[in-house]
Structure 1
């Protein structure tokens, strides 16, 4: 599988387009949540000392390592903040690690020590844990949720996970996020994007330029939904000319430190 940038254990993790805030929200049964438009600048940082001086209209930060104070400070600058949660993988250092039943823990994730795949078929056991994480996101003031590792169906996870299982789990997460007034995206998982693109509010993609897959986001962009794309190789000169119009692309190290080049 391709490289995934994401937060590490606490030992290695620390944790705009400026202008009038875009007042675009989705309404459902009396609830509202942020409904972002395509083409917004963004920053994603999961390791190193957080640099909030980066000029972007959207930040993607870790649910645990980011403080309420940080989110509030970004909001004062009219910046929206996305809350990263690892919804398809277990991380042994998280404060809620002991809440995961042993039956949900699968094989280790390659190249990511301390992480294991989750059996997303067991939605009744996993969804309440993720809902509690969303509660933390909401309490800290985050605007949206970015659930990672939804593509266990394409991995050696230790479970016979099907694409339909991932779709059902993602739909549960969508419902739980919207219930809390949080927007929600889909990370990678291009095989199930067609079934979910009308329900999600945005997409987060890793390396669609490198893998020549960005065209698969055409329906999202046509619907004015943002695709936040990060590339881990190349330069602006070699990457940006290959990015579809309207896609929000940045180039960063896999460790997802503050360093960033934007198209």
Structure 2
């Protein structure tokens, strides 16, 4: 889980694309606009919308919220745009036994861990293993679609940066293309989680919007917008990060400040602020 770690098809002719949750027509090419629209068969989250990050536990969203991200085990929030969180690149803590030979191991046979969160990395080095990992993750994706979510947020896209050199960004991209193709068939938009260095490949990888943690704090929000335009959701974990994000991007991006534990409302440590 990386929530507190620093971290489409378009024809040449006139096409209908979804922008801000509504259908509109556009004859501008991606080159002319500086960004490609979302995949033609899905709806990306509305831009500059009130957002709440609830992956630590579901609760009644504040009245101004229009977009919510919740864990795939939760139910979507009625009447809102719902993003379904799935830990797609790493095993949940204590769940290593569910993955067998799909865990990434070093030369000594030890599972390569995300030390910050105690999560074993998944082995994406071969096409066979990518397909087998995706088959398990796509069970969750299918459940997201059945429940009525409109998008998925595959977390830990950047696991290759913690793999001790065993995984490459090419492995990550090949795998996420498998996930995005399946999600699109289910009518779900796909969010790129962090990993700003790969934002320029969003169209090839089938990614429709971005979920960027701490990009205000790290001065990285501008690394997403050339590729995703205003389809960027920003999550900050400090007041300073929130101020920076709001000062520069408050009029164009969806921005929220949450506590590091992403606690439900009413729980100890809960924090939620916006611009």
TM-score bracket, normalised by the shorter chain, equals 0.7 to 0.9
Q: Secondary structure at the match of 1:57?
A: strand
Counterparts of 2:47 and 2:62 in 1: how far apart (Å)? 22
Q: Given the alignment, which residue of 120, 131, 139 partners 1:132?
A: 139
Q: With the length of structure 2 as denominator, give the TM-score of the two structures.
A: 0.74
1:204 Cα deviation from its structure 2 partner: 0.3
Matched, 1:110 2:103: no
Please state if 1:150 is matched with 2:157.
yes
- SS for the counterpart of 2:153 is strand
Deviation of the 1:36 alpha carbon: 3.1
Residue number in structure 1 paired with 2:87: 86
* 1:63-121 Cα shifts (integer Å, max 9, x gaps): 01x13xxx2xx33x3x1100000001101456xx65422342442212213x2111222
Q: Is the 8 A contact 2:21 2:43 kept in 1?
A: no
> Does the alignment pair 1:56 with 2:79?
no
**TM-superposed deviation, 1:148:** 0.2
**Unaligned 5+ runs, structure 1:** 7-20
CA distance in 2 between counterparts of 1:27 and 1:197 reads: 8
- Cα distance in 2 between the residues matched to 1:208 and 1:123: 29
Q: Over alpha carbons, which structure has the higher Rg?
A: 2
Cα RMSD after superposing both structures: 2.7
* Range that drifts further, 243-252 or 129-138: 243-252
Q: Does the aligned pair in 2 maintain the 1:42–1:59 contact within 8 Å?
A: yes
What number of residue pairs does the alignment pair up? 231
What residue in structure 2 maps to residue 9 of structure 1?
Answer: none
Taking the aligned partners of 1:84 and 1:58, their CA distance within structure 2 comes to 13
Q: Is the 8 A contact 1:221 1:246 kept in 2?
A: no
Q: Residue 248 of structure 2 is aligned with which of 229, 242, 259?
A: 242
Aligned pairs for 1:144-223 (under 5 A) are 144-155=151-162, 157=163, 160-197=166-203, 199-222=206-229
Instruction: Using the TM superposition, give the Cα deviation of residue 240 of structure 1 relative to its aligned residue in structure 2, in angstroms.
Output: 1.5
What TM-score comes out, normalization by structure 1 length?
0.78
CA deviations 1:45-76 (Å, max 9, x no partner) are: 12256233452110000001x13xxx2xx33x
Task: Determine helix, strand or coil for the equivalent of 1:118.
Answer: coil
Q: Secondary structure at the match of 2:121?
A: strand
Q: What stretches of structure 2 of length at least 5 have no aligned partner? A: 6-19, 25-37, 105-110, 266-270
